[in-house]
Amino acid sequence: MPLPEPLERMTFDVATLMAEHPPLIHHPNKRVVFEIACGEGSECSGEIGYTQWPTFPLPERVDPTAGLDALESRCGIMDYEPVEDFPGAVEWHVNFADQMLFFAYGSGLFAQDEMQCAEHPALGALVEALRADGHRAVTETADGPTPVLVTGVERRVKVKTNMNAKKGRPRGLYGNEFAVASPEAVERATKRIDPPTITNIIAMAAPTYRNGRYERSMIERILVTAYTGFAAAVAESERMAPGAPVAIHTGYWGCGAFGGNRVLMSLLQLLAAGMAEVTCLVFHTANAEEIPLAEAGRIITEELATGEDLTADGLIDRIDAMAFEWGRSEGT
């Protein structure tokens, strides 16, 4: 069955975008990063593509093990390094988005979404342009997920978030620590990338923090969201570079401030990658353990793999019967 077409497709000249809709940077530490990325003597260039996608129906039949064949685990945060086994792959990086696209990019927050926006400053300009033209810059609606894909965006700086007391960041810079750090510490942690590298982004929203057991409807919505985002990236990759492998970089999506269950969120992304026929799913475990990802793999191998394809509904029923519980918000 052919996939639906995007709800919107637009292209933007980056120099024009930055001049006519400059990012609105409210927090002084974010301005430090922005000045290093786009200050005097720098020139933003190129063209970025924007697409917003409707909710995709899940495939009728599912091989639960398909995503395991694509999995590559990496310790640490997203490093934007390409996969080695698939030269020429079209690479994508998941943005752990809010319902409002890149909504806190100019604030003092510095979780995964805001960090990605700070390192890719044209994302802020993109949001301002969309708002100015009356477009709904959202990654989901009441009717379902509407992931956003952004192609060709420059990564102009790298910001170190690790703990380093000698350089003024004894508790690191991730999350809420960024806002309380000194501007000098932020400046020392920020390195300009010259020439900039190019990133393709999948912005998709995980459900916000809840308590108790996951409802079946929530499990289905998370799986549909991940599948829609991943399948849209595969479709766009085929349009951009026909026949090229597709690599998607992700991690414990929705498991920080939103308090998602790390095993379940890993499991559903692995299943979505298999359904979407992603060539390589690079899973960055950040500073957390790899145990949740490994447990997700075990569940697929030992509890979901039956030797035959399952229906999507049957797969969700099995996962629902495992009675996954929400985790705790990390407050970042």
Strand, helix or coil for residue 81: coil
Sign of the CA dihedral running 117, 123, 128, 133: negative
Phi/psi for 61 (5° steps) reads -120, 145
Structural domains counted in the chain:
1
pLDDT at 256 over 70: yes
**326 within a domain of the structure (yes/no):** no
Tens of pLDDT, residue by residue over 205-254, are 999 878 899 999 999 999 999 999 999 999 999 999 999 999 999 999 99
pLDDT digits (tens, 9 = 90+) for 129-188: 999 999 889 999 989 999 999 999 999 999 999 999 999 999 999 999 999 999 999 999
Residue 329 belongs to a domain: no
Q: Which pLDDT does position 3 carry in this prediction?
A: 82
Determine the pLDDT at residue 273: 98
The whole domain housing 312 covers 8-321
* pLDDT confidence bin for 331, thresholds 50/70/90: low
Q: Kindly state the tokens that stand for 139.
A: 């990654």
Query: SS3 letters for 254-279?
Result: CCCCCCCCHHHHHHHHHHHHHHHCCC
Residue 29 lies in a domain: yes
Classify 306 as helix, strand or coil. Answer: coil
Question: Does some domain include residue 330?
Answer: no
Q: Domain for residue 12, yes or no?
A: yes
Q: How much is the CA Rg of the chain, to the nearest whole Å?
A: 19
- Is 195 exposed, middle or buried, given 0-12, 13-18 or 19+ CB atoms closer than 10 A? exposed
Q: Is 69 in a helix, a strand, or coil?
A: helix
What residues contact residue 78 under an 8 Å CB cut-off, 6+ apart? 93, 112, 116, 249, 251, 284
d(CA 122, CA 245): 26
Contact 140, 146 (CB under 8 A): yes
293 lies in a domain? yes
pLDDT band at 278 (very low <50, low <70, confident <90, very high): very high
Q: Please report whether residue 142 resides in a domain.
A: yes
Local structure of 211: helix, strand or coil: coil
Distance, in Å, from the CA atom of 182 to the CA atom of 294, rounded to the nearest integer, reads 38
pLDDT, tens only, 79-125: 999 999 999 999 999 999 999 999 999 999 999 999 999 999 999 99
pLDDT digits (tens, 9 = 90+) for 27-43: 999 999 999 999 887 88
The mean pLDDT of 57-68, rounded to a whole number, is 95
288 pLDDT higher than 80: no
Q: What CATH code is carried by the domain that includes residue 301?
A: 3.40.220.10
